[in-house]
Structures are given as structure tokens and as C-alpha cells.
Amino acid sequence: MADVFTKQKRSEVMSKIRSKNTKIELKLRKALQAKGLVGYRVHYNLSGKPDIAFPSKRIAIFVDGDFWHGWNWKKLKPKLKNEYWVNKIIRNMQRDKKINRQLSNAGWKVLRLWEHDIIADIDSCAQKIEKLYGGFKNGFRI
């Protein structure tokens, strides 16, 4: 199926999609700071480039966009008219699983949060991270 946009317009649209420091990531980081969870690194140089990492605790957190990472894939797939997007999202999901395995095998705890979960209940997402962190705040046990 042909694209509804010209090649130039499609390029313009795609260039505006951010991969780092998205509104969702910033919202999550703000919630972590409010909970006193410090010491994390942003886009840490690790397999898969986690959005947030706590290197001292070996925790990698990924903020997965619903569309790009295939949330509710069984419903989404039939709606995609272009085979390119089907293949792209399948590759993303496969890569996510591979990265999870690699990091787990290297001793990292991996947490993937869906975009819609962060939007719906940021506190719950921050609590998941806090629980994984193990009850430490500002370097001291609570």
C-alpha cells in the first residue's frame, strides 16, 4: 500500500518522533526523583540502551512505547496496512526479548514499563521501580 504522505513529508513526520527524553520518560524520572530514588543514569551505555539504569544496583528500566514495541499485538497487527510496520514491530519485540535475556544473563534486573501504564498510573510504576531497588533511598536503607 502506498504511503499517504510524500516521501519528504513522511521524513518530516518521522524526524519529529523522539527516541530519547520523551515526555513519558521525563514524567517517570520526575516521579523517581519525588520518591528520592537517585543515582540513576539516563540512556546508560549498556545492551539495549536502557532509558533509566541504576548501575550500582544493576537495574535496567525500559520505557516502551505502545505502538513501537507491540503492546496488544493481536489487536494492533490486523490494523496495520503496511507490511513494513508489521515487520518493524516484530523485529522490535524480538530485539526486546534478546536484550532482556542478555541483561539478565549478565546479572541485571530488567523492568519494562508500557507507555500507557505510565500515563495511567505513574505512582504504581514508580513503586515497581522502588520495590526492585530494594528499599534504598539516597544511598541509605529505609
Taking only the tens place, the pLDDT of each residue in 92-112 is: 999 999 999 999 999 999 999
Would you kindly state where each structural domain of the chain is located, as residue ranges?
Answer: 21-136
Instruction: Decide if 125 contacts 113 (C-beta within 8 A).
Output: yes
Q: Which residues make beta-bridge pairs with 141?
A: 136
> Does residue 10 surpass a pLDDT of 80?
no
**Residues 11-34: tens digit of each pLDDT:** 665 555 656 678 889 999 999 988
pLDDT value, residue 135: 55
Instruction: Decide if 63 contacts 24 (C-beta within 8 A).
Output: yes
Distance separating alpha carbons of residues 98 and 93, to the nearest angstrom: 9
Counting residues of the chain whose pLDDT is more than 90, the rounded percentage is 49
Distance separating alpha carbons of residues 58 and 48, to the nearest angstrom: 14
Q: What are phi and psi of 53, to 5 degrees?
A: -140, 140
CATH superfamily assigned to domain 21-136:
VSR Endonuclease (3.40.960.10)
128 by Cβ neighbours in 10 Å (0-12 / 13-18 / 19+) ranks as middle
The pLDDT-based confidence of 54 (bands split at 50, 70, 90) is very high
> Does residue 1 surpass a pLDDT of 50?
no
Q: What are phi and psi of 132, to 5 degrees?
A: -65, -35
